[in-house]
């Protein structure tokens, strides 16, 4: 397991109420980390990592079957993938609607992951595959701006009513795209009271993380137009446009 070498201390400036978490998917047992003692759903493990020492989970650590399914630790389960459960929970009108979820969610290759390591940022000793931040809208605006500051790339908010864990962990990992989620929108996480409603979860893949860190150092965080009011913003925009026209 690669040691963490990227300096993530810039994220300390945000003073997050809930600390960021690094997640790694592994074939081999990670060194220096203890196995999770209790059984939790995959969506709950993120919160557990914010409140505890680093740990890793194995197949038997998952209380909810969605975790082993999307991690490739278990094969297809027709009871789930037929879509019969969603209508009984009130999440979907009928099985055919629920069935579509299983054609859309990201799933890792069978038996390609045996361990999933979790660590809060302050104890992160390994190089994360996904780095997840719990942010307020103001904090999220800065991070999302940093994600596209040099590239101009879009950021995304993808998800489904159920199996929110797939979009929290795997979508950014397999796609290389940052993903944004809002707590309170995902069935299992809401039913388990994992987080209060209205927080932004920003999942950053490993290959995008250095770019965001670099841009957080380079760019201005608190833009004056956000605090000077509408009229000042309109006037500044007019002046900028006129200045550019005069130059040309």
User: How far out from the chain centre does Cα 76 lie?
Assistant: 25
Model confidence at 5, pLDDT cuts 50, 70, 90, reads: confident
pLDDT tens digits, one per residue of 136-185: 999 999 999 999 999 999 988 999 999 999 999 999 999 999 999 999 99
**Whole-angstrom Cα distance, residue 170 to residue 179?**
10
Helices (H) and strands (E) in the chain, counts: 11, 7
**Helix, strand, or coil here: 197?**
coil
pLDDT tens digits, one per residue of 173-206: 999 999 999 999 999 999 999 999 999 999 999 9
Average confidence score pLDDT of the chain: 93
pLDDT tens digits, one per residue of 30-55: 999 999 999 999 999 999 999 999 99
Every domain of the chain and the residues it spans:
9-247
Q: What is the per-residue DSSP string for 59-99?
A: GGGBSSTHHHHHTTSS---HHHHTT-HHHHHTSSSSHHHHH
- Global pTM exceeds 0.85: yes
**Whole-angstrom Cα distance, residue 166 to residue 75?**
16
Residue burial 71-85, b: 16+ Cβ < 10 Å; e: rest: bbbeeeeeebeebeb
pLDDT over 90, % of the chain: 80
In the prediction, which pLDDT does 186 show? 95
């Amino acid at each position: 397991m690669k040691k963490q070498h990227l300096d993530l201390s810039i994220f300390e400036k945000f003073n997050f109420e809930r600390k960021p978490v690094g997640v790694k998917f592994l074939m081999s047992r990670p060194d220096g980390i203890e196995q999770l003692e209790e059984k939790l759903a995959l969506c709950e493990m993120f919160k557990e990592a914010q409140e505890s020492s680093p740990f890793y989970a194995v197949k038997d650590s998952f209380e909810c079957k969605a975790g082993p399914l999307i991690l490739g630790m278990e094969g297809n389960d027709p009871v789930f993938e037929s879509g019969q459960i969603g209508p009984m929970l009130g999440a979907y009108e009928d099985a055919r609607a629920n069935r579509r979820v299983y054609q859309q969610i990201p799933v890792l290759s069978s038996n390609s992951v045996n361990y999933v390591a979790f660590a809060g940022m302050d104890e992160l000793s390994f190089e994360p595959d996904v780095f997840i931040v719990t942010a307020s809208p103001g904090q999220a605006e800065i991070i999302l701006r940093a994600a596209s500051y040099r590239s101009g790339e879009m950021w995304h908010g993808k998800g489904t009513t159920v199996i929110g864990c797939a979009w929290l962990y795997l979508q950014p990992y397999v796609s290389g795209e940052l993903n944004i989620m809002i707590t309170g929108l995902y069935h299992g996480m809401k039913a388990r009271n994992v987080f209060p409603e209205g927080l932004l979860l920003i999942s950053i893949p490993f290959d995008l993380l250095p770019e965001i860190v670099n841009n957080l150092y380079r760019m201005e965080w608190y833009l004056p137009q956000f605090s000077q009011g509408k009229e000042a913003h309109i006037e500044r925009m007019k002046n900028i446009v006129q200045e550019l026209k005069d130059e040309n």
